[in-house]
Amino acid sequence: MNLANPSPDRLASLAALGPEPVTFPERHGIQPTSTLYGGAHRFRVGSLVKLGNAVLTAVDSYLSNDNEFAACFGMPSVASVSSLRERVRASLERTPIEDVRIDFEDGYGPRTDAEEDAHAELAGEAIAEKRVELWPARIGIRVRAFEAATAKRSLRTLAIVVDTMVARGWRPARDPFRVTLPKVTQLQELAMAARALERLETDHDLPARSFVLEAMVETPDALLDREGRVPIALWASVSRGRLAAMHFGAFDYTASLGVPARSQSLDHPSCLYVRSVIGLAAARSDLEVSDGPFLEIPIGPHRDAALGSAEDRENREVVHRAFRHHAERVRRQLAEGYPQGWDIHPAQIVSRRAAVLTSYVEGRDNVLRRLDTFLGTKAQATRTGNTFDDAASARALLAEVRRGIRLGFDDANLVAAFLDLAPEDLLHAPLLELPGKRRLAP
């Protein structure tokens, strides 16, 4: 047989020898920049609106002028600060919260069964209320771990939340309801969770994959088993097409390694390694990835209604320092390929959104020039200034442009006009088809 030119029948027979394809949830909407976590005991009807208002209060209270914005987010050009501050404020007003997880695990703590049942019902009511809001686009819960000691309680909470929200009128939106499973150590935990979601869909006559899973990487067992295998590489295949994302729990992970509390942070060297492994496993299965929370919260030490000038100044210094540190961490997170992270206080959404927007704006012109040059050479390797680009780097450039547009940071029509493309092609066509779609005269 000529392997260099095999027959179609031979190709078909060779393909049949491969494994059956694994299915993954279809991606819906835009991956958020932020997931806001909060203890389930704090959620009830009206909570989402209050949280959104808290975001806007933070930006209006602590970024009230251009100098404060520039000091927090390190903008080099004073001329651009006013425009950026206004764009951040407009983005937050349009969508103060992108994603919420109502937490029945670490952010909730030990409870009696009666307490947790009651809070699960209130959470279901709050989730059902969300259907009349334009935001957040995503919502879900984090249940307790599916280990032996807590699996039964976790399944009960999940069922009560879903039963309540469906009874109050919830129906699937464009983006599925998310169930975050913490401290995954065994493959069967994901399989059990997937079967539970299938059962709930059947019980409530809901479309398939109305519910999807997110799995948390928080223990060494997720990364290396006793035989030297990497379990998270198999997570998607055992989740029955339900796994949509992997989230990193840095503080549980570093604690399990014996890292002292004073040294635990998202920037600990062990965390960089784990994020790399998660990114590799997720890329194989087209899963989203999310970083964990930043623990410095932008809250001033003085909480009285009437503050003196010295107390107000100290509050502002504390909040601005937390904004600055958080924004620096978000920029590093973006550079590591993690477009999403947890926030544990509404005010952190302000610094995260500002960091994401300013990062995009600072690189925008260079990204567009490089992409335009690449498309102009009919997708051949090229150079813009002293920067070399080939198809691989061009894909990253295109992905950055598309995400900026979808997040509302850029205008699809303006970008498409600059690149001589139709907006629809800019947003959806494969990279290597774009040169042929340009409207420039040959």
What pLDDT, on a 0 to 100 scale, did the predictor assign at position 76? Answer: 54
Are 369 and 335 contained in the same domain? no
In SS3 terms, 233-300 reads as HHHHHHCCCCEEEEEECHHHHHHHCCCCHHHCCCCCHHHHHHHHHHHHHHHHHCCEEEECCCCCCCCC
Closest by CA to 410, choosing from 420, 400, 397, is 400
What pLDDT, on a 0 to 100 scale, did the predictor assign at position 3? Answer: 37
- Per residue in 20-70, pLDDT (tens digit) is 445 555 555 689 999 999 999 999 999 999 999 999 999 999 999 999 999
What pLDDT, on a 0 to 100 scale, did the predictor assign at position 17? Answer: 41
Query: Of 24 and 6, which is predicted with more confidence?
Result: 24
Are 307 and 372 contained in the same domain? no
Q: Distance between CA atoms of 191 and 156, rounded to whole angstroms?
A: 17
Within a domain: 176: yes
Q: Distance between CA atoms of 416 and 396, rounded to whole angstroms?
A: 17
Within a domain: 351: no
* pTM assigned to the model: 0.88
Are 285 and 409 contained in the same domain? no
Within a domain: 279: yes
Are 96 and 160 contained in the same domain? yes
Segment 124-128 shows an average pLDDT of 94
Are 302 and 214 contained in the same domain? yes
Find out whether 429 and 365 touch, Cβ atoms under 8 Å. Answer: no
Are 340 and 402 contained in the same domain? no
Domain count, the chain: 2
Within a domain: 117: yes
Are 300 and 424 contained in the same domain? no
Tokens of residue 153, six digits:
């309680």
Tokens of residue 294, six digits:
């930043």
Query: Tell me, what DSSP letter sits at residue 223?
Result: T
The CATH code of the domain that includes 281 is 3.20.20.60
Q: Distance between CA atoms of 264 and 77, rounded to whole angstroms?
A: 35
Give whole-number Cα distances, 76 to 14, 73, 84, 230, 327, in Å. Answer: 58, 9, 12, 44, 15
Within a domain: 327: yes
Confidence of residue 173 (pLDDT cuts 50, 70, 90): confident
Instruction: Mark which of 292, 310, 344 sits at the end of a domain.
Output: 344
Within a domain: 442: no
Amino acid at 300: G
Amino acid at 285: S
Instruction: Mark which of 309, 344, 379 sits at the end of a domain.
Output: 344
- Per residue in 350-383, pLDDT (tens digit) is 999 999 999 999 889 999 999 999 888 876 777 7
Question: Which structural domain, as residue segments, surrounds residue 376?
Answer: 363-437
User: Helices (DSSP H) in 17-112: which residue ranges?
Assistant: 47-62, 66-73, 78-94
Within a domain: 18: no
Q: Distance between CA atoms of 123 and 301, rounded to whole angstroms?
A: 30
Within a domain: 22: no
Are 90 and 192 contained in the same domain? yes
Are 262 and 381 contained in the same domain? no
Are 376 and 327 contained in the same domain? no
Instruction: Mark which of 344, 371, 401 sits at the end of a domain.
Output: 344
Are 316 and 376 contained in the same domain? no
Are 173 and 312 contained in the same domain? yes
